[in-house]
């Protein structure tokens, strides 16, 4: 597997060290999630669309 190098600001590097985060695994997982989300076109169900519309209406974005 080819290696890539990334740079982190000091505060983030300290956070990774302090929390014992396997940065390689973390980045791989996040990149996979991103690739999968871009490759799938998820459509909302009618119920999900209605729920979103209700929330938008309560917030005043949908005036009828």
Domain region containing 21: 10-58
Position 5 in a domain: no
Position 16 in a domain: yes
pLDDT in tens, 26-49: 888 988 888 887 766 667 788 888
Position 27 in a domain: yes
Q: pTM above the 0.85 mark?
A: no
What's residue 2's pLDDT? 82
**Average per-residue pLDDT in the chain?**
82
What's residue 41's pLDDT? 60
Position 2 in a domain: no
Cα 61 to Cα 53: distance, rounded to the nearest angstrom: 9
Cα 24 to Cα 1: distance, rounded to the nearest angstrom: 12
13 has a pLDDT exceeding 80: yes
Position 64 in a domain: no
Position 35 in a domain: yes
Number of domains in the chain: 1
């Amino acid at each position: 597997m080819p290696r890539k190098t990334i740079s982190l600001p000091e505060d983030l590097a300290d956070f990774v060290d302090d929390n014992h985060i396997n940065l390689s695994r973390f980045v791989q997982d996040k990149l996979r999630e991103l690739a999968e989300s871009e490759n799938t076109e998820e459509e909302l169900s009618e119920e999900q669309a209605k729920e979103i519309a209700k929330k938008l209406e309560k917030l005043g974005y949908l005036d009828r």
